[in-house]
Structure 1
Amino acid sequence: MAGFGGDPDNVTIAGQSAGAFAVLALAVMPQARGLFQRAILQSGPFVIEPDAPERAEARGRLLAETVADGRADALCEVAVDRILAASGVIARQFASGPGDFTPPYLPCVDGELITGPLLQAVAAGAASWCPMIAGYTREECTVFAAIDPALATLDEAGLLAILGKRLGDDAAAVLAEYRALRGHGRHPASLLSDVQTDAHFVGPTHELAHLQHRAGRPIHLFSFDWQSPRAGFGANHCLELPFLFGNRDAWADAPMVRGADDDDYAHIGGAMRGYWGAFARSGRTEVAGLPPWAAYDDARTVMSFERCIRPLNDPAGTRWRLAFRALKRV
């Protein structure tokens, strides 16, 4: 860090999606404490648990069989595009069924660096030293549903079967709640996407915030709510990235940001960079000309990034929603 002109005693690490999962893994890892001072976690699927050793070994064995004739030592010689293509094979083999968006590879519980589920470690106080910003996009899983052909023909019975595996006897009541919240005319795949967004991203992020607040460590939550011009995408996974980094040209081929209003892009992106930069410099979120962003507490304050940037109390409905209570039980 010092070699690049930075302050080695004032380091903020950040990650998105699997990167956020990795950041949280570092935050609960005793061996990493002191290497950084703060963390930013965007769209982390914290409900996912690290692999048991035997499951991780099975993933690696399947990869070797798929691209390297079963020889682990030959994997280093395999072209990157073949390994990337094989990732789809791995994901499908280990998926629990349609709508399972678990990544093809996961960190492994080794008993030393990673000892178990990350949120379990947070609950035990392992991350209580680390100030954080954490958040999600409002419709994370729409983009995953759009690329899963098995969901195109999903019907009511299939949706209830999937929810039944996840929620047991609560499935029908939870589905009725989502219909009331999101509309009765939505395709079953869209409703599944709503459930998965809450189960994999929104709920676990609020749980992380609750645990950090309980430990006395400030954490600031956000929800990226700006809606993509692409019908059906909403505020999908990765949508906040071109706004945050200000590199819209690099996303020219991404349908989710095509047609974005220039004023929205400049306003939202500038605000995010202001907050993120202030936090990285000082651990605080006060920025002149922007709304105050309070740390998460019993009011469950979340900063909403959309055309109108504003703090909201409990916008996800974690105080009262049946879905969150059901998801936490399982």
Structure 2
Amino acid sequence: MIAALIPPLGAAFRAPVLGRIARPLITAPTTRSMYDSPARQFVARHRAAGGRAYRYRLTWRPDDNACGAAHLTDLPLLLGTRQAWKDAAILGETEWAEVDRRGRAIRRIWAEFARTGALSHTEANDTITFRLD
């Protein structure tokens, strides 16, 4: 979560014992209120109107990345090149080959959904999980 980039929170998250306790106490409610609950509501409304919708959760945490599987971490997997993302802190120390491998799997699944409106896979490379609820 981007909260790790706020200096006092980042320091608290890195603390040996406190960090393991503080991080989920701060990030879980924020994630639910900002992302999870609105996404569930959107999916429900869209389906009620006759549309197809899936939610997804990014589960991949780039190597040595203070933010973890944060909002925006999916962008390098979907868009751009090694050159475009070479200095991006959000990728931490992750090698581009890993970003590319994970990104190819996600793009394949998303392209299938764009073509067919359905998903034949609900996860990719321990990177992302699609939810049908």
Post-superposition CA distance 1:117-153 (Å, at most 9, x none): xxxxxxxxxxxxxxxxxxxxxxxxx22x123345468
Matched, 1:265 2:123: no
Structure 1 residues 152 and 240, CA, compared in 2 at 3 Å: closer, same or farther?
closer
CA contact (8 A) 2:62 2:68 kept: yes
Structure 2 counterpart of 1:284: 117
Query: What is the CA distance between 1:191 and its match in structure 2?
Result: 2.2
Pick from 174, 195, 212 the counterpart of residue 46 of structure 2. 212
**Structure number having the greater helix percentage:** 2
CA distance in structure 2 between the partners assigned to 1:259 and 1:152 by the alignment = 18
CA contact (8 A) 2:46 2:52 kept: yes
Matched, 1:243 2:62: no
Query: What is the CA distance between 1:213 and its match in structure 2?
Result: 1.9
CA distance in structure 1 between the partners assigned to 2:123 and 2:62 by the alignment = 15
The normalised TM-score by structure 1 is 0.33
CA distance in structure 2 between the partners assigned to 1:263 and 1:252 by the alignment = 12
Pick from 307, 313, 321 the counterpart of residue 126 of structure 2. 307
CA contact (8 A) 1:226 1:305 kept: no
CA contact (8 A) 2:58 2:74 kept: yes
Post-superposition CA distance 1:184-219 (Å, at most 9, x none): 862535521221111100121012112222232111
Structure 2 counterpart of 1:234: 68
CA distance in structure 2 between the partners assigned to 1:149 and 1:258 by the alignment = 17
Structure 1 residues 243 and 254, CA, compared in 2 at 3 Å: closer, same or farther?
same
Query: What is the CA distance between 1:227 and its match in structure 2?
Result: 0.8
Structure 1 residues 232 and 273, CA, compared in 2 at 3 Å: closer, same or farther?
same
Structure 2 portions without partners, runs of 5+: 13-17
Structure 2 counterpart of 1:111: none
Query: What is the CA distance between 1:276 and its match in structure 2?
Result: 3.1
Q: Which structure ranks higher in relative contact order (CA pairs < 8 Å, sequence separation ≥ 6)? A: 2
CA contact (8 A) 1:244 1:273 kept: yes
Query: What is the CA distance between 1:239 and its match in structure 2?
Result: 0.7
Structure 1 residues 262 and 206, CA, compared in 2 at 3 Å: closer, same or farther?
same
CA contact (8 A) 2:59 2:69 kept: yes
Query: What is the CA distance between 1:268 and its match in structure 2?
Result: 2.0
Secondary structure at 1:268's aligned position in 2? helix
CA RMSD of aligned residues (A): 3.2
The runs of at least 4 consecutive aligned structure 1 residues that moved more than 6 Å come to: none
CA contact (8 A) 1:229 1:260 kept: yes
Aligned residues: 129
Structure 2 counterpart of 1:148: 6
Q: Which amino acid aligns with 2:6?
A: D
Structure 1 portions without partners, runs of 5+: 1-141, 155-183, 287-291, 294-302, 315-330
Matched, 1:188 2:7: no
Structure 1 counterpart of 2:15: none
CA contact (8 A) 1:223 1:304 kept: no
Q: Which amino acid aligns with 1:284?
A: G
The normalised TM-score by structure 2 is 0.71
